[in-house]
Amino acid sequence: MIGALLRRPVGVLRRRVLEGLAARGFGDLHGPHLSVFQHPGPEGLRPTEIAAAAGMSKQAMNHVLGQLESLGYVERRPVRKGARAVAIWPTARGNAAIKAMRSVIAGVEAEWAAALGAGRFRALRELLVELNAVLQTESGAGAKQPR
């Protein structure tokens, strides 16, 4: 079944990202925190938008965001002067962690491309991009999809 086939690669990728983050000095980040930093990242998104993209409740996401805020990875800013609504922005430490995550992911992708062959890995990636586009159209979701 497709869910089972997708679950293992995603699990391996998440584990490798967390290991890579720990090796780069970001050992205080844990699995639930990754949902905030998933593509396209939290830059200027409202907590409700990040929660929806992660498939989490607003309350659960606010708990995760509170942890990340206290660890110095994100900050909340009003969406405009005097507004009650806030947007989430990565701090310098948050941006450094995002850069580290992208580096780890690039390494994993290179390993998988070597294992499958560059052409086959590229085809897999293109098919997943296409599937994500179909699913976004189908669900009417507004979040940007990975490219």
> How many angstroms separate the CA atoms of 68 and 72, rounded?
6
**Is there a domain that residue 105 lies in?**
yes
Number of domains the chain is built from: 1
As a whole number, mean pLDDT of residues 101-116 equals: 97
With CA atoms as reference, report the closest residue to 107 among 4, 23, 43, 47.
Answer: 23
Q: Is the pLDDT of residue 43 over 90?
A: yes
Q: At what angle do helices 92-116 and 2-23 cross, to 10 degrees?
A: 130
For residue 69, being part of any structural domain is answered with yes
Residue 93 is assigned to a structural domain of this protein: yes
In sequence order, which ranges of the chain are alpha helices (DSSP H)? 2-23, 31-37, 47-54, 58-71, 92-116, 118-139
Q: Indicate the average pLDDT of the chain.
A: 92
Whether 147 is covered by a domain: the verdict is no
CATH number of the domain within which 128 lies: 1.10.10.10
Specify if 59 maps to a domain. yes
- pLDDT at residue 140, as a whole number: 55
| Residue 39 near residue 54 (C-beta atoms within 8 A) | no
Residue 124 lies in a domain: yes
Which pLDDT score, from 0 to 100, does residue 142 have?
47
Residue with tokens 């290179």: 110
Encode pLDDT of 85-104 as tens digits.
899 999 999 999 999 999 99
Q: Is residue 51 part of a domain?
A: yes
| Residue range of the domain that includes 109 | 2-139
DSSP character for 45? B
d(CA 73, CA 66): 10
What is the pTM assigned to this prediction?
0.86
**145 part of a folded domain:** no
pLDDT at 106: 97
Give the tens place of pLDDT for each residue, 48-74: 999 999 999 999 999 999 999 999 999
Is pLDDT above 50 for 145?
no
